[in-house]
Amino acid sequence: MNIQEKFNELKFKEELAFMPYIAAGDPDVETTVEILNTLIENGADIIELGMPFSDPIADGPTIQAASERALKAGMNTDVYFEICKKVNPKIPVIAMTYYNIILQYGLLRFAKKCKDSGIYGIIVPDLPVEESEPLLSACKKYNINLIFLVAQTTTPDRLEKILKHAEGFVYLVSLLGVTGAREEVDKTASELVLRVRKKTELPLCIGFGISNALHVEQLKLNSGVNGVIVGSAIVNIIGENLGDKEKMLFELKNFAGKMKDATKKKIVLKVHE
């Protein structure tokens, strides 16, 4: 199932896409496959699978640590593709990688390998839209969506360029504020969704700072977003339970279930008489 088909299915169900992120090979290949199966069995709609890199400039300390663990365990590009082949074909896989890895592998070779491995989209955070044409051409040849990032700092001109080339969905980088015990989503998240929604009908997914079901419920109620990408919260669970795989998988199961349930919550409007 490709990305568009998955979003169409979720739109019919009136659900947001729950898109967990993990670093492939963290803490090892066998455990990665078990983690992926656990996430999928408990509600993951799309998987964002990070390709570990020695200099992950766009990642915070939690995901950097995961990449280091994966690289120490022998992770490489070919092993990454083998992991992707083990994912349920009904679940689209999005590869998150850095442009240097793709260049070294070869653009067409990389795109073909993605196609052969069940990958339907690629996120390259260090590739500006202005320099994306060669990779876009390779992706189009193999029907791979190149996913672009839009932040609150993205200028109107740049947003227009991004949306001209965007496919699959638009990845919104939005800071979700956590203040005291209230843990409310920062209002700028909804403002960013609204701003981009005026310019495109593509699905919009928020992917920064989402760490609990309340965030998801608030986004569904207030923003009109189509999906949520959850990374550090999941990678934290992995990192905190490296010595106890059973506990790790149990906690991931519970977390994924709660997050997916939140994407299904119906919006109920209360009428005051």
The catalytic residues are: 48, 59
- How many Cα atoms sit within 13 Å of 264 on the Cβ side? 11
> b/e for 231-243, b at 16 or more Cβ within 10 A?
bbbbbbbbbebee
* DSSP code, position 272: P
Best CA proximity match to 228, nearest among 237, 216, 236, 217? 216
Collapsing DSSP to helix, strand or coil, 93 comes out as strand
Amino acid occupying residue 106:
G
| CA–CA distance, 213 with 54 (Å, rounded to integer) | 32
Say if CB 81 and CB 102 are below 8 A apart: no
Residue with tokens 């059973």: 246
* DSSP code, position 46: S
| CA–CA distance, 112 with 147 (Å, rounded to integer) | 17
Question: How remote is the C-alpha of 170 from its chain's centroid?
Answer: 11
Any residues with CB less than 8 A from the CB of 108 and at least 6 apart, and which? 138, 141
Q: What backbone phi and psi angles, to 5 degrees, belong to 131?
A: -115, 15
